[in-house]
Amino acid sequence: YIFFYTGAFYGWGPMQLMLEDSGHFSSQCAGGEEDLPCPKQSSILLNVQFVACLMMILSPLMGAAIDKFGTSTVMNITFFVGALGLVFLTISTSLRIDWMLFPTFLLIGFMSVVTGLFTVQTGLLYPEGKSRDRVISGLNALLDAGGMTYLVLWFVVENTEFSLPAISGLY
């Protein structure tokens, strides 16, 4: 989960390329198809990621929520929010509903931030010493490597007959 979903949020570049190639926000471009992607289209897609990154502001609040409501309750809510974000991703890319990308990546950003907090808690379950250090290092490595997830999805879209909506649904 950490590799495929939590860390994927940090590898925005390939996702932006897929969204540009599928024509999201192309209505903002002044020219014809040959002018895609245009600077305004790219700027709006960067704003999608920027707005989603604002979810990181919730880190202290979510840490307090974990302490107050418990790990399992917050994790269940987080999984629901993440699943909803993936459903929104599939719908927004299938139907090309551009404005829906903002709430989509807000939900995915929320899920990424909260599950990132859980990697620390998971590591702290292990006794002090080398095993705890290895678990925390391994989880952090998975989180960092997850930034390549969108790159792999982009590679699949570019080199197969699959489209972004199909990949979103499988993802």
Which residue stretches of 96-163 are H helix?
101-124, 130-145, 149-159
In degrees, rounded to 5, the angle at the alpha carbon of residue 157 between the alpha carbons of residues 153 and 161 is 140
Asked whether residue 34 carries a pLDDT value surpassing 90, the answer given is no
Q: DSSP 3-state assignment of 125?
A: coil
Q: Would you state the pLDDT for residue 144?
A: 84
Mean predicted confidence (pLDDT) in 113-140:
83
> Which has more confidence, 102 or 32?
102
pLDDT-based confidence at residue 56 (cuts at 50, 70, 90): confident
Do residues 111 and 146 make contact, with C-beta atoms less than 8 angstroms apart? no
Q: Whole-angstrom Cα distance, residue 113 to residue 118?
A: 9
Percent of the chain scoring above 90 in pLDDT: 26
Q: Would you state the pLDDT for residue 80?
A: 94
**What phi and psi values does residue 125 have, to the nearest 5 degrees?**
-70, -20
Do residues 106 and 56 make contact, with C-beta atoms less than 8 angstroms apart? no
For the segment 68-120, what is each residue's pLDDT rounded down to a tens digit? 998 889 889 999 998 999 899 999 999 999 999 999 999 999 988 888 888 77
Asked whether residue 161 carries a pLDDT value surpassing 60, the answer given is yes
| Sign for the pseudo-dihedral over CA of 57, 59, 140, 129 | positive
